[in-house]
Chains A and B, each alone.
Chain A
Amino acid sequence: MSNMINPIVVAPEELHDKLAALKAEGYDFLECLTGCDWGEEGLGVVYSLTKSSTTFEMTHVKCVATDKENPTLPTACDLWDIANIYEREVYDFYGIIFLGHPDMRRLFLREDWVGFPMRKDDKPEEKNAEIPATNENISDTRHKYTLDAEGNLKCEDTPVFADDAYVVNIGPQHPSTHGVLHLRTAIEGERVKQIDPHLGYIHRGIEKISESLTYPQTLALTDRMDYLGAMQTRHALCMCIEQAMGIEVSERVQVIRTIMDELQRIDSHILFFSCLCQDLGATTAFLYGFRDREEILKIFEKTTGGRLIINYNMIGGVAHDLHPDFVEDVKHFINETMPKGLKEYHKIFTGNVIFRNRSIGVGPLTREQVISYGCTGGTGRAAGWHCDLRKHRPYAAYGKVNFNEITFESGDSMDRYMVRLKEIEESCEIIRQLIDNIPEGPIQEKMKPIVKVPEGCYYSAVEGSRGILGVYLESKGDKSPYRLHYRSTGLPLVAALDEACRDFMIADLITIGGTMDYIIPDIDR
């Protein structure tokens, strides 16, 4: 099975019409938007569109800006809400100006950063010789660029917040943002009126670094993005490289990877539960979650040697064979610890009248909204969107197991919470089906000492702990990737936060943020 993609190339002036036509055709989910510098060919973007409600079939549209110095492309903001943030990311790194975009600010980098670092000819070290030691002045102005009659760029500025807005900084140092997320929140009394996420506090430029690393070296960075989806992220990248190189990994590896992914998912969902409890003030339930999660970490540690940064999947296999105790430990976990734990969680927290009042009807997102914002994973499924890639684009051993895709209808905080707790049960079920039948076979395919991916574009995606985790890989046949882009699972969730929180209270912002379940290093990469 090859994961090579051949994007449809369109001219900038036809881009918007083409995208609109594809959307009307059923490709109504913008799964991934990748900016790229193709050198001589110019700067441009690749839109990866998916049929969200039927087959999850994908199509890719490539568009190269004509002007190399000041590239411009038409915006797709009016078609997808998430395009707003994605296009800001492309602007931030490649300097492509999206015409008609309402908010063309930098997304991750500081406002005073010079240059666009992901351009192949940019010299960030020279242009930004001194690391600024002063406070960052966060811009309060939105820029909207349009072309006037003569074809010159015209900039129209609007303020982000109204003059009389009472803006509270939630973050970057805040107990409930789960990391260095900065939400500038305009409130009126206790009500949230507007949220402007300010990102990039933990941006490490993993995509940029990867361009100068060999393929095995890029793997080492994946665990550091979504640290509660380390297995899955690394699985996605390994799978992308393997499929691109035409390597078939053994059945054994497929099954091991599936079990590990599911253990990781349970781990992530338990932590989701714990942190939500903590955010809502139920500190005790928080520790119950941690107590049970410890068992998964011990299982991981025995087999892989890592707890959080696991380094387990390798190109063509996995790093270690399963530990002799693995099967027994996993069985104990899924048959005893987890059912007991879940019962306790439901008793102490799910049924609690305070929690129910704080979550039912709070921060609902409709099915249309989650598709438009690209909120996959539990957030998407809570709103009734069947978006589980394990079902719709089965990979590894998911095709062979029976499990239910958990969906709810209303998309409020309670549903987002319940999706995760139910998914723990489903994950246990998947593991239960596989754990006794791990086939024999090699755990590592024989690889050449230097891994080279044949020239071309590739895209692979897995169902991460909190949504679709895609890897876009462009290779020129070298030992390093030419462009490696991760479809972050958390970025769309943050983008949807403004919509979900509007007119709810500050305390609801915490509930909504908690149930969205974003991981900051995954947003920032």
Chain B
Amino acid sequence: MANTSYFAGLIGGIKSLCNGLSVTFRELWTPKITERYPENRKENNIPERFRGTLVMPHNEKNEHKCIGCGICQMQCPNGTIKVVTEMVETADGKKKKQLVRYEYDHGCCMYCMLCTRACPQGAIEFENEYESAVFDRKALIKVLNKPGSKCEEKPARPAVAKPATAPAAANGTPATANANAAAGNAEAKAKAEKLVAAAKKAQENAVAARAAADEAKAAAEANPDDAALQQAMTEAEAKAVKLETAAKTFAQKAAEAVEAAK
């Protein structure tokens, strides 16, 4: 206001204040954004990638995938994980490391994902459970393997049906093998599996899209005057082409990954 005249400044000032008032007045009637937690627990959508707590998934036979290699413990920057193992003799006389306790100190965890990324077996993962508050910090030290659980003998592989992945699966490193190699190999394997699945999905999508496109085309040819149908046909065609290309890329990638895993 220093460089404008007294009255121009006064009027300009009042105008700017009214501008602000109009904004708040409008906002007074807009829908409110507050989320009503905990009433909205059910519809509260936590993204699946959100890292709430570390878990070790068990299958229906109370089996987990952890082989007790301790890579996660080594990777953890602040000593959150403690893996207790023992050596047991298997039926065929071989010595084998077995997980006894998998201790996870939730209070220390900083969710950096180094453990889950390093795990050669994919035995641990983050879950989006977020209500972790407890009254005693001792309760935050959790044992992740369930009582009486044991390691899966031969990890179930949903993609085994696909012949391409079979060799990769057969290549699976024995549990006692060098941990580092296991890490690399298992990761590649997992990736290959994922990619194969993705490629399959993409192929399915592409087929569906192609069918839809054909249908649209037929409809459009039947009614050449209908502009909307023409439009729909062009769009469906474009979508089908796009998805087919994507499917091809995926298939190629999957093939490469399978090759790499071998």
Contact = CB atoms under 8 A, between A and B. Distances in A.
In the complex they form, do A and B come into direct contact, defined as C-beta atoms under 8 angstroms apart? Answer: yes
B110 A323 contact: no
Interface stretch (A95-103, A166-174, A304-312, A502-510): A304-312
Contact of B51 (A294, A305, A356): A305
A56 interface: no
A302 to B, nearest CB: 5
A351 interface: yes
A352 B112 CA distance: 43
Interface in B6-25: 12-14, 16-17, 19-20, 22-24
A449 interface: yes
Contacts, number: 81
A303 interface: yes
A220 B77 contact: yes
Contacts of A353: 1, 12-14, 16-17
B33 A291 contact: yes
A17 interface: no
Interface string A143-164: 0000000000000000000000
Interface string A212-251: 0110110111000000000000000000000000000000
B157 interface: no
Interface of A is mostly: helix
B16 A319 contact: no
Interface in A295-333: 298, 301-306, 309, 311, 314, 319-320, 323
Given A217-B114, A348-B23, A320 B49 contact: yes
Most buried by B among A217, A294, A344, A449: A449
Chain B, interface size category, equals: 20 to 34
Contacts of A335: none
B183 interface: yes
Interface residues of A, number: 37
Contacts of A449: 118, 180, 183-184
B129 to A, nearest CB: 13
19 contacts: A220-B77, A284-B24, A301-B49, A302-B47, A305-B47, A305-B50, A305-B51, A305-B111, A305-B126, A306-B50, A309-B111, A319-B117, A347-B22, A348-B20, A353-B1, A353-B14, A449-B118, A449-B180, A450-B180
Given A348-B20, A356-B16, A449-B183, 8 more contacts: A216-B114, A217-B114, A301-B49, A306-B111, A311-B113, A352-B16, A353-B16, A354-B17
Interface of B: 1, 12-14, 16-17, 19-20, 22-24, 27, 33, 47, 49-51, 75, 77, 110-114, 117-118, 126, 128, 180, 183-184, 249
